Amino acid sequence: MSLTKAKMGTMLSFVVFFFSFCLLFSSSAHGDDQTSVYQVLQNYNLPIGLLREGAVGYGLDPASGQFSVNLTSDGSECVVYEAGFQIKYNPTITGVISQNSLSQIDSVRVKFLFWLRIKDATRNEDSIKFKGTFWSKTFTISDFNSSPQCNTGIIS
């Protein structure tokens, strides 16, 4: 079977894209000399309690701030209690990190009357403000000084 120039060009483009993607989001949490995802949060002046305990890997593009965090190796979601609320994390979360801010967050929800998406978290001195589509809530930064642990049961 012979490949045409167009097919070879498409295949080469896919290989370059896939290789670039793997480099961008390769796991950085394994290894003694590499920064943990919790240290990355602190480097951006964000509290470690924004992520639950036990992240297994992450990828970060420092130029754009695009990040991906793998929270479990088994693909399960996790519910934690933090600052008086239930927060649900999917196995992988993504977004954009910058100084004092996480934006375009995907796969994190908080339960008010029902589960609502958390889209942004912004630090302003000693407070942190979470925003969703139609809501926002501000907490003291001390509520997020430590990473919460997963609860064992599924909370609906």
Judge whether 151 lies within some domain: no
The CATH number for 70's domain is 2.30.240
Judge whether 65 lies within some domain: yes
Judge whether 156 lies within some domain: no
How many percent of the chain have pLDDT more than 70?
A: 76
116 CB burial (10 A radius; 0-12, 13-18, 19+): middle
Closest to 117 measured CA to CA, from 98, 146, 89, 97: 89
Judge whether 154 lies within some domain: no
Judge whether 93 lies within some domain: yes
Mean pLDDT of 55-84: 90
Which residue range(s) make up the domain with 10?
5-144
- Please tell me the distance from the alpha carbon of residue 135 to that of residue 156, in angstroms, as a whole number: 21
What is the DSSP code (8-state) at residue 44? Answer: T
Judge whether 123 lies within some domain: yes
Number of domains in the chain: 1
At 83-140, the pLDDT tens digits run 788 999 999 999 999 999 999 999 999 998 899 999 999 999 999 999 998 999 999 9
- Max Cα distance, the chain (Å): 64
- Please tell me the distance from the alpha carbon of residue 39 to that of residue 46, in angstroms, as a whole number: 9
Whole-number pLDDT of residue 82: 80
Answer yes or no: is pLDDT of 66 > 90: yes
Judge whether 59 lies within some domain: yes
Judge whether 104 lies within some domain: yes
